[in-house]
Chains A and B, each alone.
Chain A
Amino acid sequence: AQRVTQPEKLLSVFKGAPVELKCNYSYSGSPELFWYVQYSRQRLQLLLRHISRESIKGFTADLNKGETSFHLKKPFAQEEDSAMYYCAPAKGGKLIFGQGTELSVKP
């Protein structure tokens, strides 16, 4: 069965600390992989996608096919990074979201 797991419901770090939000997926074949973010009182929006190999707002995500993981990383967290983050593999028209990790960056 297709499944995506974000093991941490809440991740709390101090400003300037590195942050890693974990995502593991269980899919047959190779899904496309995305990270979405929802800031307080805002709409869900795309943060980054694997196929673009991009870095957005200092975040990067590396696909590890062996571990089937797509962890989101940032070397120095900022207070404005506080938000809900969703890992989302997609295949065949279906986008499946993880349960989400709430990132709280303290001053």
Chain B
Amino acid sequence: EAQVTQNPRYLITVTGKKLTVTCSQNMNHEYMSWYRQDPGLGLRQIYYSMNVEVTDKGDVPEGYKVSRKEKRNFPLILESPSPNQTSLYFCASSRGRVTFGTDTQYFGPGTRLTVL
């Protein structure tokens, strides 16, 4: 089944403890992206990647890192999490650049992160 998976789905951690949220897609998509969803703010893009070893900042990249060593994986890294990073995180992928207009973005199920 074609899908985007994220792990873990739920995570409670403490300030400063490094964590990684994994994202994997099995559709051979070139484009992958991370978003955070907060009440009243909608979804905001954190980072995106056009292809392997190509990443770029979205609108809210501060405090996050990503890597794209393989086409299928796009982990989100929080080196030193803080309480303001408590949020619902979504990973997404699409066949090509989303701005082609024909490339549907497929979303993962979300990861709910709480930083105490």
Contact = CB atoms under 8 A, between A and B. Distances in A.
Interface of A: 6, 9, 31-32, 36, 43-46, 49-52, 86, 90-100
Interface size class of B (residues with CB under 8 A): 20 to 34
Contact of B101 (A36, A44, A50, A100): A50
Interface of B: 31, 33, 35, 40-45, 48, 50, 56, 58-59, 90, 92, 97-102, 104-110
Given A52-B102, A94-B58, 17 more contacts: A6-B42, A36-B105, A44-B43, A44-B90, A45-B107, A49-B104, A51-B102, A90-B101, A91-B99, A93-B97, A94-B45, A94-B59, A95-B105, A97-B42, A97-B44, A99-B40, A100-B42
A98 B107 CA distance: 17
A43 to B, nearest CB: 5
B110 A97 contact: no
A90 B99 contact: yes
12 contacts: A36-B105, A43-B110, A45-B106, A49-B102, A92-B99, A93-B31, A94-B45, A95-B45, A95-B98, A95-B105, A97-B43, A98-B42
